[in-house]
Structure 1
């Protein structure tokens, strides 16, 4: 305790700020000096557990009003259930207090007691000039009613997790009021009673650099369209059920990395063409439904991570090898996907349609090959053989075998190790 007492108040306050508010207040009985130190902490973090709503509400009101920090850096509210003893009005007042204290970061994670309810956040939230980070999360979809004018000039990061806007123009109004927004995450789940998630939307943000669009709804409910216009975007993540024609991306010349998961088919190749400038690409999708996919050359692609959990991944592999002249790293990953019901039946066909000629990347620059979840089926052997025997500059090939049977694993290792490789310095590794 003596050592801690020698620290300055500023340093002690900074240490306390890493803890939830309920734990910070427990330090007040330590000494006269500590009695009021907690009131200077610039971060307020609360979590309400079930059946403690009334006690929680009183605690939040008391501590927010007693806080004396010059500026409030952050307010975190996690409420498992809104109800009569802790309701949307209370949440609105707490947000209003935080805005008046020039809050920088706001995180609200709530569960409404009535599905489909409209949550009316205070209008001050939409004109908070100091807000830099906003995260709204809900475990049952709720509606947010956005005013006609939004002014959030300092907002850099925004997450809307299972949050729906009351009218179609609301998202546009929010984004238009964020001229410096750099990171945006939109997550949607299956509809609940009273909430319509079928609206189309446009993401038109010139300053945006990082975007995630995650749609966890079933295919029957996720047919709404969207347009992404973000010319400064460098990182993109799209996770969806089916890539419809009404989902489009405009040219993104600054894009560096993309993570795209489309589990039930692709019908819009213009969407994929917007990704051709990336250097790293993570793909979980199928081109099998299309007899002749259009030519898409990935001129800058260096690293490709390809999921083997969807039907037709082998056709996509052929397409990517043929059209990625600078590819150096290839990873085949057997990632489990909740939308694919029977992944055990997915396997490379024995008559895998390999590239008609050795791809340019295998001849010139391909160095690293990794297969996580290698099953050793005939089709898998065809793929592995083609890569290992044609990659002239291969440095390492790693196989993480899926089988737990020792004898079966031994046979896989023996077969792969017997393949002739054109690169004398290449290493073959197993796990």
Structure 2
């Protein structure tokens, strides 16, 4: 107990600051340490509660989430609040009570607000005019249209997931984003079951300050009703996972450094491939990739590569002249499409490939076309998750060794391993016997 005695002598402001980094249920437990600690947790400038914290984690006189939160907010109502984080189930509090809590948190200058429910109560209007909010996370709640001009001057991070909106305000997200002049990090995850709820069909993201943006919109019985527009000249990172939007517009992405893209551009909805006469879809695909063509680091999915292959039969893929690193999780079928895409990456230096088994049957691959980057710029190749001695894997490794003129390093990793070091050396000699670049170092993991 000597250690606790020393800690107990610290100023209360320091103790409450330390406790603010703990979930509230753990902060409450410190009340059992001594008389000094009995009520320190009540003056912590933050609340962090989950629905499964009740009732066993708290003293007998606090048996419900609702009563506990009310007592906590009353106990230090004069102090500023740094964090208000609450996750609750349907029966633990009603919509009106949640509105009261958020209003109180905003009034007390909350900086980090996190609300997650298992229903969709409407969030209070006060969140639209907070002068102190730095981060806002809303999961499975309802957002009413702002009744006044949105003003969130300090908000830097916003995460919106499975949120329902007013049906009669298609530009609600645009209005919210426009009221965040310091916004740097935005995540929008649209509801999975979007046809049983009110969702924003037109998502427009316009921001001069946004640096990181993540969009996820998939697993919905989509069609042609959804569209997205991104206009963000300061954007550096984007994760784009949208299989439902029929219209996709990107503008002014002049700072974009890295993109993680997994989208079929609504091409395969209903099983129909991209057709020659589908000029609007062709333009959407071309304009999207033209808009991100300055990117330097890319992760591209199998479905996206398949769509690009269909598009390449009707038009040329935009050039990615700045792209130096590319990651792709391939199957044997998409591997045959990869050289076509690599032709659009004339200065690529680092290629990372992860093998994904999509069929139990062996697949034949033929790799004959050699894109320009193999002969002029590609210096590093990592091929992961191959199966030892599988013919397609050997073909793939030899393809790069035999055709990469300036390759410095090729690393291969397998899901299985050689039985002995001797087998490993024999296998390595087999792979490197015909390498074009004599300075290339081959490593087998």
| TM-score (structure 2 length as normaliser) | 0.82
**Distance between the aligned counterparts of 1:292 and 1:37, measured in 2?**
68
Distance change >3 Å, CA 333–CA 218, structure 1 → 2 = farther
Is the Cα–Cα contact under 8 Å of residues 163 and 191 in structure 2 kept in the other structure?
Answer: no
Q: Could you tell me which residue of structure 1 aligns to residue 377 of structure 2?
A: 365
Consecutive unaligned residues in structure 1, runs of 5 or more: 337-342
Distance change >3 Å, CA 429–CA 46, structure 1 → 2 = same
Q: Could you tell me which residue of structure 1 aligns to residue 147 of structure 2?
A: 148
C-alpha deviation, 1:406, in angstroms: 6.2
The superposition leaves residues 273-304 of structure 1 with CA deviations (integer Å, 9 ceiling, x where unpaired) of 22211111000022232314424211111110
Distance change >3 Å, CA 240–CA 335, structure 1 → 2 = farther
Is the Cα–Cα contact under 8 Å of residues 332 and 371 in structure 1 kept in the other structure?
Answer: yes
Is the Cα–Cα contact under 8 Å of residues 143 and 195 in structure 1 kept in the other structure?
Answer: no
Range 56-65 or range 293-302, more displaced: 293-302
Is 1:17 matched with 2:20?
A: yes
Q: Could you tell me which residue of structure 2 aligns to residue 326 of structure 1?
A: 347
**Distance between the aligned counterparts of 2:418 and 2:242, measured in 1?**
35
Is the Cα–Cα contact under 8 Å of residues 16 and 41 in structure 1 kept in the other structure?
Answer: yes
Q: Could you tell me which residue of structure 1 aligns to residue 217 of structure 2?
A: 215
C-alpha deviation, 1:313, in angstroms: 4.6
Is the Cα–Cα contact under 8 Å of residues 222 and 244 in structure 2 kept in the other structure?
Answer: no
Is 1:422 matched with 2:436?
A: yes
Is 1:256 matched with 2:257?
A: yes
Consecutive unaligned residues in structure 2, runs of 5 or more: 56-61, 269-273, 275-280
**Distance between the aligned counterparts of 1:77 and 1:154, measured in 2?**
21
Distance change >3 Å, CA 335–CA 179, structure 1 → 2 = farther
Number of residue pairs the alignment of both structures matches: 409
**Distance between the aligned counterparts of 2:249 and 2:221, measured in 1?**
17
Q: Could you tell me which residue of structure 1 aligns to residue 170 of structure 2?
A: 168
The superposition leaves residues 140-182 of structure 1 with CA deviations (integer Å, 9 ceiling, x where unpaired) of xx53212232111111110001113213121122112112211
Range 257-266 or range 270-279, more displaced: 257-266
Distance change >3 Å, CA 335–CA 43, structure 1 → 2 = farther
C-alpha deviation, 1:416, in angstroms: 5.2
**Distance between the aligned counterparts of 1:126 and 1:54, measured in 2?**
32
Is the Cα–Cα contact under 8 Å of residues 75 and 105 in structure 1 kept in the other structure?
Answer: yes
C-alpha deviation, 1:350, in angstroms: 2.6
| TM-score (structure 1 length as normaliser) | 0.85
Give the secondary-structure state (helix, strand or coil) at the position aligned to 2:142: strand
Distance change >3 Å, CA 58–CA 2, structure 1 → 2 = same
C-alpha deviation, 1:107, in angstroms: 0.6
Q: Aligned to 2:330, which of 297, 301, 308?
A: 308
1:19-418 alignment, distance < 5 Å: 19-49=22-52, 55-67=64-76, 70-79=79-88, 81-83=89-91, 85-112=92-119, 117=120, 119-138=121-140, 142-149=141-148, 150-166=150-166, 167-191=169-193, 194-197=196-199, 199-218=201-220, 220=222, 224-241=226-243, 244=246, 246-262=247-263, 267=281, 268-284=285-301, 285=304, 286=306, 287-290=308-311, 291-309=313-331, 311-315=333-337, 317-334=338-355, 343-344=358-359, 349-355=364-370, 359=372, 361-375=373-387, 378-402=391-415, 413=427, 417-418=431-432
Is the Cα–Cα contact under 8 Å of residues 174 and 204 in structure 2 kept in the other structure?
Answer: yes
**Distance between the aligned counterparts of 1:77 and 1:71, measured in 2?**
17
C-alpha deviation, 1:73, in angstroms: 0.9
Give the secondary-structure state (helix, strand or coil) at the position aligned to 2:145: coil
C-alpha deviation, 1:394, in angstroms: 2.5
**Distance between the aligned counterparts of 2:32 and 2:102, measured in 1?**
29
Q: Over aligned residues, Cα RMSD in angstroms? A: 3.0
C-alpha deviation, 1:111, in angstroms: 0.5
**Distance between the aligned counterparts of 1:416 and 1:202, measured in 2?**
54
Distance change >3 Å, CA 303–CA 219, structure 1 → 2 = farther
Give the secondary-structure state (helix, strand or coil) at the position aligned to 1:327: coil
Give the secondary-structure state (helix, strand or coil) at the position aligned to 2:182: coil
Distance change >3 Å, CA 219–CA 369, structure 1 → 2 = farther
**Distance between the aligned counterparts of 1:183 and 1:195, measured in 2?**
26
Give the secondary-structure state (helix, strand or coil) at the position aligned to 2:68: helix
